A and B are shown apart, each in its own frame.
Chain A
Amino acid sequence: MLRWIVWRDLLLAWRRRTDILSTIFFFVIVVSLFPLGVGPEAQLLKAIAPGVVWVAALLSSMLSLSRLFANDYQDGTLEQMLLTPQPLYLIVLGKALAQWLVAEVPLVVAAPFLGVQFGLAPETLIVLVLSLLLGTPILCLVGSIAAALTLGLRSGSVLVAILVLPLYIPALIFGAGAVDASIMGTSPYPHLYLLGALLVLSLIFAPWATSAALRISLE
């Protein structure tokens, strides 16, 4: 069941590759603009690196959010999914997982290469990847709530941004904090553990909230 929904969404994403590519390019370009704009001061670049990479990850993951349910809503497949004998919780979880694989994993892969531009040390790059690995699923899960709530609205994507960015703040603080700690030479693990706890929380509650929001949006 979960397998079907993930396979379906991955195949759909493959058929619409340009959508994914635009998200990745957005991330890469936004992050690369900062060293060019701020100037080649090694110390300054190092200091802003965690924040820049994380904020760019938030923004680019938001770009793809409005597509999470909107297309399925328009052609009626979402309605059909609600009418399958599977728990809606699982369907939402599957869609969020597919979204993560398609839109977020490429960012995690690209992040260390971008980190080099900021002169980050190898061990800091590892922490950056770890923090993104733990943090980006939170973005998908929490974002799915906003995407479900704004279904069918005309200016949905703007509303998604307003709704979801405040909810992203905890992930941003602990994610960027972990990388910061590693740059400062202190242990990044407290931040990473908290990020992990946030991930568990959102795994439990976000699909449930999204399911409820979907039922309301499709009435």
Chain B
Amino acid sequence: MSFSFSPGTFVSLTGPNGSGKTSLLRILCGLLSPVEGEVRWRGERISNLGDEYFSEVTYLGHRNGVKDEFSGLENLKVACGLNGISLSQLDAQALMQRVGLEGRESLPARLLSEGQRRRIALARLAASKSTLWLLDEITTSLDRNALGLVRSLIREHLSKGGIAIVATHQDLGLTTDNIQRLELAT
């Protein structure tokens, strides 16, 4: 199969368990190299782009990438620092407030619930400046409010010309003009 996506596209990636949704996302972000075929970003093979490509893509997988020993704020700041995004204390606070962790932003993440840790990952997503979002089972352990937050984050991202590829079992309920569906079979 072959596919390409233009800016502002929301891609819903579905398929039964084990059909390769996660593998596809990991190939797209460059963590996994495909056995056959290639991934191109703006016409250039991602293997040639190297580290440059990583500033264009944000991947949120099954594992949150949240350090239990760090507070939500620290997690966010370290992630932004490593990605070369400058984030002021005020911005960081605002993001924490946006993902609904106000008042808990200084607690170590190990004291938070799974859903709250997922929200820290969402804050990281919201702070990212990349064009391509690859979200794997983003809805796991999130409550209804957080789902609304995910929808609004994706909508903002799309309106800025971003692309979001979301692997999900559960319909996000996102309504935008430019939705493509990609269904994998086993």
> Which A residues are closer than 8 A to B by beta carbons?
1, 4-5, 7-8, 11-12, 15-16, 74-77, 79-88, 91, 218-219
Contact = CB atoms under 8 A, between A and B. Distances in A.
A12 B65 contact: no
A77 B54 contact: no
Nearest to B82: A84
Interface stretch (B5-13, B56-64, B141-149, B169-177): B56-64
Interface stretch (B68-76, B88-96, B97-105): B68-76
B84 A12 contact: no
Interface string B29-68: 1111100000000000000000110110111011111111
A219 B33 contact: yes
Contacts of B108: 15
Contacts of A76: 61-66
A49 B108 CA distance: 44
Given A1-B82, A5-B82, A8-B78, A83 B67 contact: no
22 contacts: A1-B81, A4-B78, A8-B78, A12-B67, A12-B70, A15-B108, A75-B65, A76-B66, A79-B31, A79-B61, A80-B65, A80-B79, A81-B82, A82-B31, A83-B29, A83-B54, A83-B57, A83-B59, A84-B82, A86-B82, A91-B82, A219-B33
B65 A16 contact: no
B141 to A, nearest CB: 14
B159 interface: no
B82 A12 contact: no
Given A74-B63, A79-B61, A85-B51, 6 more contacts: A77-B65, A84-B83, A85-B54, A85-B55, A218-B31, A219-B32
Contacts of A91: 82
Contacts of B81: 1, 4, 8
Contacts of A15: 69-70, 108
Taking chain B's interface residues, is the majority helix, strand, or loop, or is none over half, making it mixed? loop
A11 B70 contact: yes
Contacts of A84: 54, 82-84
B55 to A, nearest CB: 4
B33 A1 contact: no
Contacts of A86: 51, 82, 84
A75 B63 contact: yes
A91 B66 CA distance: 17
Most buried by B among A4, A74, A77, A80: A80
Contacts of A87: 51
Given A79-B63, A219-B33, A85 B69 contact: no
Contacts of A88: 51
Nearest to B64: A76
Given A4-B82, A219-B32, A16 B69 contact: yes
B84 A75 contact: no
B82 A79 contact: no
Given A79-B63, A80-B65, A219 B82 contact: no
A75 B79 contact: no
A74 to B, nearest CB: 8
Contacts of B78: 4, 7-8
Given A4-B81, A5-B82, A11-B70, A75 B64 contact: yes
Interface string B1-37: 0000000000000000000000000000111110000
Interface string B128-155: 0000000000000000000000000000
